[in-house]
C-alpha cells in the first residue's frame, strides 16, 4: 500500500510539542505516513498578517487529513501591536485560523469522545450506597454541530434599522424589548438549518450503530428554545423512527444534563447537540475523565472527507518555553487515534490506545496534571513525567 500523507499543523506553544511527541508514537506504532508541515498560527499572523495562509489551505485540500496541535489567539489590540510594522497600515483584522479552517472546509461535524482510563487518578469518583466509593466508567461520544447556532457569528450591537424593524414584527420582542432604545440592544442569533441539523444527527446515529451504543441523547432545551432545539429534537425523532429503530432516542435539557453528569454519567452513550451546548456538555464530560490532558476531538466534513484531529486544549503559552516540556501529550495522541479510525487504520489505533491504557493503569509514569501538581517548571524534580517521558512510556508498551 502506498504511504499516506498527513498534514501536520503544529501551530503555537505546546501544540508544537504534543504534536511532535504524537508523531513519534505513530512512527513507533508502525503507522506508515509522510508528514508535510503546514504553516498556521501566531507567527504567520505577525509576519504575514494571516495566521492561515492560502498555502496551508491548499495542502489540506490536497491531502485531506490533518493533525493539529493548538494555536494562540490574543485580543484585538495586542494582535495589532504584534503585527510587523509594514503590515500595520493595511487594516488587517486577526481571526482564529482554526475557526477559519472550520468555515473554509465546512467541517460541520465535531466529535469529542470522553472515555475513562482505568487507573487515571483524575477520574471522577462519587459515593454510592453505604458510603462506598464508586468510579463510574464513562464512555460517551459527543457530536457537536460545529458551524451554526450561537457561534455562527450573526450578531449586532445597535442593530441596523432593518433588523430592528424585523424584530419588531415579533410580539415577544415588542412586549419585552420594544421600548428599549435600539442603541442599547445587543443581539446574537441562534440559527439552525435543516441541512446541518440532519448531518449532525445522522453522524451521531451512525456512530451509535457502528460502535454499538444503545442510545443517542439530544441535549438541547426544546421546551424553551422551541424553534432551534425543537427542530433538532423533532428531526431526531423522525430519523430514529425511519432509520435507526434499534437505537433508543433520549432527550435531555442542557442544564439538567450538567447536573446528571455527575450523578449517572455511565448511562449515556452518544450525545448530540448544537454548537454551544455541544461545547458545554463536552467540556463537562471531559472533566470526568481527566480534563484537558485527555480531551481529544475530530472535526470533519463527511462529503469531502476533509478532517482535522486536535486536542481540545489550547497552546498553554505559560508552559511553551520550558526547557523540558511538562504537558500531557495524551489528548493529542488520542486525537491521532481518532484519525487512524477515520482512515480505517483501526488496528494501529487499538494498539496505541492499549499502550496508553497500560501506562495509565500501571501508574508509574504520570505527567504533572495527573499528579494534581500546580504546573511549574519544577514538577519534573518532584517526580512528574515530562511530555517526552510520557511518550516514551507509551512507545515502550507498544
> Which residues contribute to the site for ligand NAI (CB under 6 A)?
18, 70-73, 98, 292-293, 313-318, 327-328, 331, 369, 375
CB 179 within 8 A of CB 322: no
d(CA 284, CA 258): 7
Give CA angle at 288 (65, 272), nearest 5°: 55
CA 113 to chain centre: 9
**To the nearest whole angstrom, how small is the minimum distance from the Cβ of residue 279 to Mg ion?**
5
Binding mask 343-382 for Mg ion (x = CB under 5 A): ----------------------------------------
Residue with cell 497500560: 358
| Dihedral sign (CA 339, 345, 351, 357) | positive
Pick the piece of the chain touching Mg ion (CB under 5 A) from 34-42, 138-146, 276-284, 291-299. Answer: 276-284
Q: Enumerate long-range contacts of 81-90, CB under 8 Å, 24 or more apart.
A: 82/42, 82/45, 82/46, 83/45, 83/46, 83/49, 84/46, 84/47, 84/49, 87/48, 87/49, 90/49
**To the nearest whole angstrom, how small is the minimum distance from the Cβ of residue 70 to Mg ion?**
12
**How many C-beta neighbours within 10 Å does residue 262 have?**
13
List the 109-115 sheet strands across, edge first: 33-37, 4-11, 65-70, 307-311, 296-300, 109-115, 139-145, 270-273, 215-220, 248-253
**To the nearest whole angstrom, how small is the minimum distance from the Cβ of residue 371 to ligand NAI?**
11
**To the nearest whole angstrom, how small is the minimum distance from the Cβ of residue 295 to ligand NAI?**
9
Residue 316 near which of ligand NAI, Mg ion, none (CB within 5-8 Å, type-dependent)? ligand NAI
| Dihedral sign (CA 135, 141, 146, 149) | negative
Residue 230 near which of ligand NAI, Mg ion, none (CB within 5-8 Å, type-dependent)? none
Residue 315 near which of Mg ion, ligand NAI, none (CB within 5-8 Å, type-dependent)? ligand NAI
The DSSP code for 42 is H
For residue 310, state whether it binds Mg ion (rule: CB under 5 A): no
**To the nearest whole angstrom, how small is the minimum distance from the Cβ of residue 148 to ligand NAI?**
19
Query: Binding-site residue total for Mg ion (CB under 5 A)?
Result: 1
For residue 389, state whether it binds Mg ion (rule: CB under 5 A): no
Binding mask 279-308 for Mg ion (x = CB under 5 A): x-----------------------------
d(CA 382, CA 310): 29
For residue 60, what is its C-alpha cell?
489540506
All residues at 6 or more sequence positions from 312 whose CB lies less than 8 Å from its CB, including other chains: 112, 282, 283, 286, 292, 295, 296, 297, 331
Residue 279 near which of Mg ion, ligand NAI, none (CB within 5-8 Å, type-dependent)? Mg ion
Residue 72 near which of ligand NAI, Mg ion, none (CB within 5-8 Å, type-dependent)? ligand NAI
Nearer to ligand NAI by Cβ, of 369 and 392: the residue is 369
**To the nearest whole angstrom, how small is the minimum distance from the Cβ of residue 154 to ligand NAI?**
22
Residue 220 near which of Mg ion, ligand NAI, none (CB within 5-8 Å, type-dependent)? none
Q: Tell me which H or E stretch contains 277.
A: helix 275-288
**To the nearest whole angstrom, how small is the minimum distance from the Cβ of residue 15 to Mg ion?**
16
d(CA 133, CA 123): 12
Residue 50 near which of Mg ion, ligand NAI, none (CB within 5-8 Å, type-dependent)? none
For residue 12, state whether it binds Mg ion (rule: CB under 5 A): no
CB 352 within 8 A of CB 337: yes
Nearer to Mg ion by Cβ, of 144 and 207: the residue is 144
Nearer to ligand NAI by Cβ, of 18 and 208: the residue is 18
Nearer to ligand NAI by Cβ, of 98 and 247: the residue is 98
For residue 53, what is its C-alpha cell?
495562509
Nearer to ligand NAI by Cβ, of 207 and 313: the residue is 313
Q: Is 139 helix (H, G, I), strand (E, B) or coil?
A: strand
| β-strand pairing of 307-311 with 186-188 | unpaired
Nearer to ligand NAI by Cβ, of 150 and 292: the residue is 292
Residue 70 near which of ligand NAI, Mg ion, none (CB within 5-8 Å, type-dependent)? ligand NAI
Nearer to ligand NAI by Cβ, of 100 and 375: the residue is 375
Binding site for Mg ion (CB under 5 A): 279
Amino acid at each position: 500500500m502506498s504511504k499516506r500523507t498527513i498534514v501536520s499543523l503544529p501551530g503555537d506553544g505546546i501544540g508544537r510539542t504534543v504534536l511532535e511527541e504524537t508523531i513519534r508514537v505513530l512512527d513507533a506504532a508502525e503507522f506508515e505516513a509522510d508528514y508535510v508541515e503546514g504553516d498556521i498560527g501566531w507567527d504567520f499572523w505577525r509576519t504575514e498578517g494571516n495566521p492561515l495562509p492560502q498555502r496551508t489551505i491548499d495542502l489540506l485540500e490536497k491531502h485531506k487529513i490533518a493533525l493539529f496541535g493548538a494555536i494562540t489567539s490574543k485580543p484585538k489590540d495586542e494582535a495589532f501591536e504584534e503585527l510587523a510594522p509594514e503590515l500595520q497600515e493595511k487594516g488587517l483584522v486577526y481571526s482564529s485560523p482554526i475557526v477559519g479552517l472550520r468555515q473554509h472546509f465546512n467541517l460541520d461535524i465535531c466529535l469529542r469522545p470522553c472515555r475513562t482510563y482505568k487507573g487515571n487518578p483524575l477520574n471522577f469518583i462519587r459515593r454510592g450506597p453505604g458510603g462506598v466509593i464508586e468510579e463510574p466508567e464513562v464512555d460517551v461520544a459527543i457530536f457537536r454541530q460545529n458551524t451554526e447556532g450561537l457561534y455562527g457569528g450573526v450578531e449586532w450591537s445597535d442593530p441596523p434599522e432593518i433588523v430592528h424593524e424585523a424584530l419588531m414584527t415579533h410580539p415577544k420582542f415588542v412586549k419585552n424589548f420594544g421600548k428599549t432604545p435600539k442603541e442599547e440592544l445587543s443581539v446574537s442569533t441562534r440559527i439552525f438549518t435543516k441541512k446541518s441539523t440532519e448531518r449532525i444527527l445522522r453522524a451521531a446515529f451512525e456512530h451509535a450503530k457502528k460502535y454499538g451504543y444503545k442510545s443517542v441523547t439530544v441535549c438541547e432545551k426544546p421546551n424553551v428554545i422551541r424553534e432551534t432545539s425543537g427542530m433538532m429534537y423533532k428531526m431526531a425523532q423522525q430519523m430514529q423512527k425511519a432509520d435507526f429503530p434499534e437505537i433508543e432516542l433520549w432527550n435531555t435539557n442542557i442544564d439538567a444534563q450538567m447536573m446528571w453528569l455527575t450523578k449517572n454519567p455511565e448511562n449515556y452513550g452518544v450525545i448530540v447537540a448544537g454548537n454551544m451546548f455541544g461545547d458545554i456538555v463536552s467540556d463537562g464530560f471531559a472533566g470526568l475523565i481527566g480534563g484537558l490532558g485527555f480531551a481529544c476531538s475530530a472535526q470533519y466534513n463527511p462529503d469531502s472527507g476533509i478532517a482535522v484531529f486536535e486536542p481540545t486544549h489550547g497552546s498553554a503559552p505559560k508552559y511553551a518555553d520550558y526547557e523540558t516540556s511538562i504537558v500531557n501529550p495524551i489528548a493529542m495522541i488520542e486525537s491521532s487515534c481518532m484519525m487512524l479510525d477515520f482512515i480505517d487504520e483501526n488496528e494501529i489505533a487499538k494498539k496505541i490506545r492499549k499502550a496508553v491504557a497500560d501506562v495509565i493503569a500501571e501508574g508509574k509514569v504520570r505527567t504533572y496534571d495527573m499528579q494534581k501538581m500546580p504546573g511549574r517548571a519544577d514538577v519534573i524534580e518532584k517526580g512528574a513525567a515530562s511530555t517526552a517521558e510520557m511518550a516514551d512510556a507509551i512507545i515502550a508498551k507498544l
